[in-house]
Amino acid sequence: MDASIRNATVMDDTRILELINSHAAKGLMLSKTPYKIYCNIQSFFVAEDSNGKIIGCAALSVMWKDVAEVTSLAVDNDYFGKGVGKALVEKCIERARALKIEKLIALTYQDKFFERLGFKLFDKDAFPRKLWRECLECPKLEMCDEKGYMYIL
């Protein structure tokens, strides 16, 4: 399926929240508030189908000079397995390269997906904790059971 990926606008807020929070309700990712979306809207990409329906989103969150994180990656259930998630992560990779960032990371339960895209497992506990800003909002914080995946650019 050919999803087109574009920069998000503030008009995409409701749909981005729907996508993220529907998966967050199943414990697959962190939930987001409208405030968080507006603050970070410039980091967001959305995927559209040929009718202009938003079927996925992702954000590139710069953590430090050398590293950025893929966050808020969410695809509409009806469009799983059609390359939408891959297209979104590839867009994050492209943006990270343009920013001259060296490493892209993801904290995730989606091992196979990230492995398929060339990410490698890494020891997330070896990363300075102050960099994990998103984690400060996570109820699991010290008991994180997500795996860390890294892609060297």
Structure tokens at 130: 């102050």
| Token representation of residue 35 | 């405030």
CB of 1 to ligand COA, least distance (A): 9
Single-letter amino acid code for the residue at 100: K
Exactly one of 16, 17, 59, 84 binds ligand COA (CB under 6 A); that residue is 84
Residues 6+ apart with CB under 8 A from 7: 42, 44, 45, 46
Q: Which of 73, 92, 93, 96 binds ligand COA (CB under 6 A)?
A: 73
- Using CB under 6 A, which residues numbered 24 to 63 contact ligand COA? 28-29
Of 9-17, 59-67, 82-90, 130-138, the segment contacting ligand COA by CB under 6 A is: 82-90
Piece of the chain touching ligand COA by CB under 6 A; list 60-68, 78-86, 118-126, 128-136? 78-86
Q: Which of 63, 74, 101, 105 binds ligand COA (CB under 6 A)?
A: 74
Q: Which helix (H) or strand (E) holds 97?
A: helix 84-98
In what side-by-side order are the strands of the sheet with 54-64?
A: 4-7, 44-48, 54-64, 67-75, 103-108, 147-152, 120-122
Site map 87..126 versus ligand COA, x via CB under 6 A: -------------------x-x-x-xx--x----------
Smallest separation (angstroms) from ligand COA to the CB of 135? 13
Q: With CB under 6 A, what is the number of residues at the site for ligand COA? A: 19
Rounded CA-CA distance 92/86 in Å is 10
CA 78 from centre of chain: 18
Interface residue list for ligand COA (CB under 6 A)? 23, 28-29, 73-75, 80-86, 106, 108, 110, 112-113, 116
